[in-house]
């Protein structure tokens, strides 16, 4: 606790600037009626200022409780028919694995032959997995961790920015103006507050202990869903709380570019932008194909395949009125498949070079 206070005191000016920029970006996007404004607005405004050389900062620990709020929000949306739904989703979840293999192959080849990266850096940069595991795995195998982190971060940012706007422009989506369900603070039953707090914290710690990916999201979502389905809690998370959580999450994505000098990373940024467009285009193609094969809604499948983060893609799905459990289940499949298969694949593919 003392370290946290000291950290904030030492970076108070940068924190105030970052929060002000994030809030300003959110309000601009709200007034422009752009999709998911409390995430995309702060993301855009803070990222731009960071790239211009200004110091933007928030404590890393700000994100965890905000993601727990989003997990609780999603937990209140889980359907009683979830298990039967998962059986129906098996063909599309297999499709996610096919998407990962095809995309990783195409993008690795692009980065090697066009981007001129070494094979290992290209492989971990082109794999549609999480930023942290891909960077750590790449570093462990001797790849360029900085390039991987930058390209993967740019992929996440561009996905979060473009997907909601594309739905607005081409799919007829009209933002409701609500950060969440439209619930206000007065409608939140006082008895539900300590129960949800305890459930979110317990779920987060349990998921972390069980090594479940994104424990701050998945743990609260599972526990709150169980409480909701059992009739223990009934209150929706108030919109002001959801807006704050989205604001912090958007800023957290944007500050990955803090201190980045454009001249030194120009090649990585250009290749990362091209890679992101290719990855999103392939996700769209797979979503359309799977929709034709399975009959599942193409909008849901686009978010299921989109190469964004768990919380970010589920938030977009929530804003678009798409079943968040569908999105989370497929994003989890994508994440688990790439994290488990990447070390095996890179070891096999580089086996010959190690022998020579």
User: Which CATH number characterizes residue 145's domain?
Assistant: 1.20.1530
Predicted pLDDT of residue 171: 64
Tokens for 9, please give them: 């005191």
Which pLDDT score is estimated for 278?
93
Angle at 302 between CA 165 and CA 216, to 5 degrees: 85
Give the HSE-up count for residue 35: Cα atoms under 13 Å, Cβ half-sphere.
Answer: 24
pLDDT value of position 122: 93
- Best CA proximity match to 321, nearest among 122, 157, 107, 175: 175
Q: Residue 355: its pLDDT value, please?
A: 45
Query: Minimal CA–CA distance to 155: which of 293, 28, 312, 353?
Result: 312
Could you list the residue range(s) of the whole structural domain that residue 103 is in? 2-355
CA distance 354 to 333: 31
Cα end-to-end distance, the chain, whole Å:
53
When divided into structural domains, the chain yields a total of 1
Residue among 68, 18, 38 nearest 215 (CA): 68
HSE of 252, CA atoms in CB hemisphere, 13 A: 18
- The enclosing H or E element of 250 equals helix 239-254
Average pLDDT, 10 consecutive residues per value, the chain (356 residues): 74 90 92 76 86 86 87 76 73 89 93 92 86 73 81 80 76 62 78 90 92 80 88 86 88 76 77 90 92 88 81 74 80 77 80 51
Residues in the chain: 356
Give pLDDT, residue 354. Answer: 47
Buried residues in 326-337 as b, exposed as e (16+ CB within 10 A)? bbbbbbbbbbeb
pLDDT at 203: 93
């Amino acid at each position: 606790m003392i370290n946290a206070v000291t950290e904030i005191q030492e970076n108070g000016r940068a924190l105030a600037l970052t929060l002000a920029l994030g809030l300003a970006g959110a309000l601009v996007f709200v007034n422009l009626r752009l999709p998911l404004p409390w995430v995309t607005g702060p993301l855009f405004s803070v990222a731009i200022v960071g790239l211009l050389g200004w110091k933007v900062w928030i404590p890393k620990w700000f994100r965890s409780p905000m993601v727990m709020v989003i997990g609780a929000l999603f937990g209140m949306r889980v359907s009683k028919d979830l298990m039967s739904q998962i059986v129906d989703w098996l063909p599309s979840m297999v499709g996610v694995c096919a998407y990962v293999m095809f995309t990783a192959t195409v993008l690795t080849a692009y980065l090697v032959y066009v981007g001129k990266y070494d094979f290992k850096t290209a492989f971990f940069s082109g794999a549609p997995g999480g930023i942290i595991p891909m960077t750590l795995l790449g570093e462990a195998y001797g790849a360029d961790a900085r390039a991987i982190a930058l390209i993967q971060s740019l992929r996440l940012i561009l996905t979060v920015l473009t997907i909601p706007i594309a739905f607005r422009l081409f799919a007829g989506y009209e933002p409701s103006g609500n950060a969440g369900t439209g619930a206000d603070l007065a409608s939140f039953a006082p008895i539900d507050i300590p129960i949800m707090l305890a459930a979110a914290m317990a779920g987060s710690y349990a998921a972390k202990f069980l090594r479940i990916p994104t424990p701050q999201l998945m743990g609260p979502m599972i526990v709150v869903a169980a409480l909701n389905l059992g009739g223990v809690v009934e209150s929706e998370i108030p919109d002001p709380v959801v807006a704050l959580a989205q604001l912090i999450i958007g800023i957290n994505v944007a500050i990955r570019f803090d201190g980045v000098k454009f001249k030194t990373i120009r090649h990585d940024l250009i290749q990362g932008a091209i890679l992101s467009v290719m990855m999103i285009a392939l996700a769209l193609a797979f979503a359309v194909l799977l929709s034709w094969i399975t009959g599942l809604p193409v909008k849901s499948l686009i978010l299921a395949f989109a190469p964004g983060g768990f919380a970010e893609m589920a938030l977009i799905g929530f804003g678009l009125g798409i079943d968040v459990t569908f999105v989370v289940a497929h994003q989890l499949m994508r994440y688990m498949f790439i994290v488990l298969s990447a070390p095996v694949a890179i070891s096999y593919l580089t086996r010959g070079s190690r022998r020579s």
